[in-house]
Amino acid sequence: MPESKFEVVKDLGDGLHFVEGKRCTIEAEKTFPVFEPRSGKIVAQCPISDAAEVDRVVNIAAKAQPEWGNTHVFERAKVLREVAKLIRENLDALARWEVLCNGKPIYEARVDLESSAETFDFYAGAASTVLSTGLQYELPGGPQQRFAYSRREPYGVVGAIGAWNYPFQTAVWKVAPALAAGNAVVYKPSPFAPLSPVVIGELLTAAGLPSGVFNVIQGEAETGQALCKHEKVKKVSFTGSVATGKAIQRACAENNIKPVTLELGGKSPLIIFEDSDIGSAVSAAMLANFLNQGQVCTNATRVFVQKSIVPQFTEALLKEADAKLKVGDPLKEETRVGASINEQHLKKVLGFVESAKQEGATVLRGGKRVHPEGVEEGFYFEPAIISDLSDSMKIVRDEIFGAVLLILPFENEDEVVKRANDTGYGLATGVFSRNLARGHRIASKLQAGTVFINTYNDTDVHVPFGGFKESGHGRENCVEALHAFTQIKAVYVNVEDKLDHCFH
Ligand code: NAD
């Protein structure tokens, strides 16, 4: 293992691409501007990888993969463990970059990085236990000296495409299991947050990953399409919107049939029953809506509250939101709400609030652009709480992906389960009640990949993550991700000297 020497990036001058083990730039006809959400400034122009560049990088990955795939799983694990160590050693400096990349408050960025280190540690340990199993079997007619075993083999080159809301963590959720299983990876980040996977590349190189096994290309839809259609890419893992997920799945069937993991959007419900502890229910509603400026795929914008407690809940929620949701410079420790990712996205969220007003809803707080002192030009939004809604309104039906909490009164259990499930999405749901039997009963009826009972927006690497319905298919985290990045091979073995046949 080479000595680990990782230096946290100081500026974007050395390029935003990562090929053959190092950060670099490329010659390109087209570029895209890189914004810093915190200040609203353009901080770089990033060259776009065209189809020829995608082909070059995929070939580099394809050449590097066989040796990595044949490296003993314990040696691969050592690299992953070393990355986890380097993340922890450089946590504050890495968190600062994540803030500059994405605009989230620094206390949240630290949490993302700590959980990313845990993800690397988890896959370092899990890979060796998951990748092969043995089974004894008997044929009809009596015991035979036979057994079978299965091997989980890497696909080869994995194409990964990420969203911008958790740029570091999203990449880690794909890269750690894909590498642990012996694949090479070509990663295309969102152009709205292009740096984080490049930093992951530098961490991997410092930890001893061989050159070419992990690479980052940059660009928009065209680059993503070229990656998905490339014949040497054998598996794609995608995080983003439903519309793009459909385009990705189509592209993955074009030149060869690639398996695809799709982690897509959501419109999740949180159901609060009248027997809930109001303070805890308010906490859940805040956790379900205001982390990361509301740019969380599992966010429960639809907060269903049982009719008898609506006034009490609303009053407590408004009081807590006014006291705690401090919007400001995300680099400041006291900030709890940072900057939205860009102007265009902020306008989209403001447009949702406007549409709700026009359809007769009442904005109880927030819902406006704000200009915090010192970062006036950044993309800041005062978190909104809205009532007087109906289930047919645009804001109640479509994914907002912003800090907008909708209060929807309900009468009883059957009615609320029906309304909660009345969406094409199925990413997450939440139930709040002191009656745990009811919590479990409802959990079995809710159509979503995750149900939170008396909490919201917890994640843990041991627990599978992913969607039902249009929120996608396949799972990230836990051993499921190792399954997703491997193909299983069954090997049947006869250990007797002779084999008979059935053609008597
Ligand atoms: P997006 O679909 O616009 O973009 C996602 C990625 O796909 C980006 O890298 C983008 O450049 C690329 N892309 C865009 N068009 C493409 C095409 N035609 N072919 C190939 N690649 C293409 O999504 P976004 O705005 O970056 O992210 C927000 C969405 O992501 C929300 O819907 C959110 O719920 C979802 N999301 C889901 C999860 C999850 O785990 N389920 C996590 C985070 C975000």
Q: Count CA atoms closer than 13 A to 92's CA, side-chain side.
A: 2
Nearest atom, ligand 1, residue 161 CA: 9
**Residue 247 CB–ligand 1 contact under 6 Å:** yes
Beta strands in 98-177 (DSSP E): 132-136, 146-154, 157-161
Q: Which residue has the tokens 């992951």?
A: 200
| Sequence-distant (≥ 6) Cβ neighbours of residue 409 within 8 angstroms | 304, 305, 306, 307, 310
* DSSP strands (E only) in 25-106: 31-36, 41-47
| The ligand 1 atom nearest the CA atom of 220 | 11
Three-state DSSP at 213 gives coil
Q: Please check the confidence at residue 156 and state whether its pLDDT lies above 60.
A: yes
Residue owning tokens 């795929």? 297
DSSP alpha helix (H) spans, 339-435 = 343-358, 394-397, 413-421
Q: What is the pLDDT of residue 147?
A: 80
Closest CA to 193 of 215, 159, 161, 225: 161
The yes-or-no verdict on residue 140 having pLDDT over 80 is: no
User: Which member of 98, 118, 202, 263 is catalytic?
Assistant: 263
Q: DSSP assignment, residue 327? A: B
The closest residue, in CA terms, to atom 17 on ligand 1 is 221
pLDDT > 70? residue 68? yes
368 C-alpha to center of ligand 1: Å? 25
pLDDT for res 142: 60
> How far, in Å, is the centroid of ligand 1 from the Cα of 238?
7
Does residue 349 have a pLDDT over 60? yes
- pLDDT, position 141: 64
Cα gap 426→449, rounded to integer Å: 6
Arithmetic mean of pLDDT, 204-219: 98
Residue 370 is predicted with a pLDDT of 98
Decide if 380 contacts 340 (C-beta within 8 A). Answer: yes
Residue 320: active-site member: no
Torsion of CA 393, 395, 398, 403, to 10 degrees: -160
Query: To test the ligand 1 pocket, which listed residue (297, 348, 477) has its Cβ within 8 A of the most ligand atoms?
Result: 297
Q: Compute the mean pLDDT over every residue in the chain, rounded to the nearest whole number.
A: 95
- Taking 60 as the threshold, does the pLDDT of residue 2 lie above it? no
Phi-psi region of 435 (alpha: psi -120 to 50; beta: other; left: phi over 0): beta
CA angle 98, 100, 102 (to 5 degrees): 65
Q: Give the percent of the chain with pLDDT over 70.
A: 97
Model confidence pLDDT, tens digit, residues 397-435: 999 999 999 999 999 999 999 999 999 999 999 999 999
Structure tokens, 423:
């969406």
Going by pLDDT thresholds of 50, 70 and 90, the confidence category of residue 500 is confident
Q: Residue 4's pLDDT band (boundaries 50, 70, 90)?
A: low
* Binding site membership of 240 for ligand 1 (Cβ less than 6 Å): yes
SS3 content of the chain, % helix, strand, coil (to 5): 40, 20, 40
Which of 190, 244, 291, 293 to probe ligand 1 with, by most ligand atoms within 8 A of CB? 244
